[in-house]
Amino acid sequence: MIKQYFLNTWSGIWTVLVGMKITFKHLFTPSVTIQYPDVKVELPERSRNRLYVNMDDCIGCDQCARACPVSCIEIETVKSVPGDEVGKTSNGKKKALWVTKFNIDFAKCCCCQLCVFPCPTECIKMTSIYEFSEFERDNLLYNFATLTPAEVDEKKDSYAKLEAEKAAQKAAAAAEPKPVAAPAPEKPKEESSNN
């Protein structure tokens, strides 16, 4: 009876020691703590984080917005009028549109990177910035357009005037009477001879 008591006691102590082996192993090793806001973890090269748009290269083609599975990209453009100097991209492609609105809602963005690949000028890309915390949800709506609201109104007005002028010219051309062509002189009929 006493022998069984000591065996049970030793078995209980042994199982506790086996269970605490890992705890004792890590108990005396110094911990390594990253001081997060000051020191940041280095991310893998292919990590997908916040998007960045280089508006100098954006041609307003809307390919990225169409590829987005959650519709978090919103683009509005206005055609340039003759005499406007929209500019060129870094690879020499001439721009034909003014990008008046380029918004990305990072509250919706799932960081899938599907918007990066269809871009013909490679102006949209993923960055290494992964902090998105904001106190207000509206602050997650990023506006990348470089035009001021006054410039946007000016571009829209000038394009509307151009369209109105074209419509007036088309209406004037349609209302203008077309000259009637003089009928062609008739050829004399040859008489057929009966033999």
CA distances 9 to 1, 13, 24, 186, Å, are: 13, 6, 21, 132
Give residue 184's pLDDT band: very low, low, confident or very high (50, 70, 90).
low
pLDDT above 70 for 180: no
**Considering the domain boundaries, does residue 191 fall inside one?**
no
> Domain range holding 159?
51-172
Strand partners, 180: none
**Considering the domain boundaries, does residue 185 fall inside one?**
no
Give residue 190's pLDDT band: very low, low, confident or very high (50, 70, 90).
low
pLDDT above 70 for 175: yes
pLDDT above 60 for 138: yes
**Considering the domain boundaries, does residue 123 fall inside one?**
yes
Q: What is the Cα–Cα distance from 118 to 66, expressed in whole angstroms?
A: 9
**Considering the domain boundaries, does residue 73 fall inside one?**
yes
> Which has more pLDDT, 15 or 85?
15
**Considering the domain boundaries, does residue 24 fall inside one?**
no
> Which has more pLDDT, 73 or 187?
73
Give the SS3 label for residue 100: strand
**Tally of structural domains, the chain:** 1
pLDDT above 90 for 140: yes
**Considering the domain boundaries, does residue 43 fall inside one?**
no
- The pLDDT score that the predictor gives to residue 33 is 82
pLDDT above 50 for 195: no
Lowest model confidence (mean pLDDT) among 5-14, 26-35, 75-84, 177-186: 177-186
In the block, tokens 């992964």 appear at 130
**Considering the domain boundaries, does residue 41 fall inside one?**
no
Can you list the positions of beta strands (E) in the chain?
51-53, 73-79, 97-105, 124-126, 141-143
Give residue 11's pLDDT band: very low, low, confident or very high (50, 70, 90).
very high
- The pLDDT score that the predictor gives to residue 75 is 95
**Residue 81 maps to which CATH number?**
3.30.70.3270
Residues in the chain: 195
**Considering the domain boundaries, does residue 22 fall inside one?**
no
Q: What is the Cα–Cα distance from 15 to 12, expressed in whole angstroms?
A: 5
Give residue 29's pLDDT band: very low, low, confident or very high (50, 70, 90).
confident
Q: What is the pTM of this model?
A: 0.67
Residue pLDDT, tens place only, 101-134:
999 999 999 999 999 999 999 999 998 888 888 8
> Six-digit token pair at 83?
């005499």
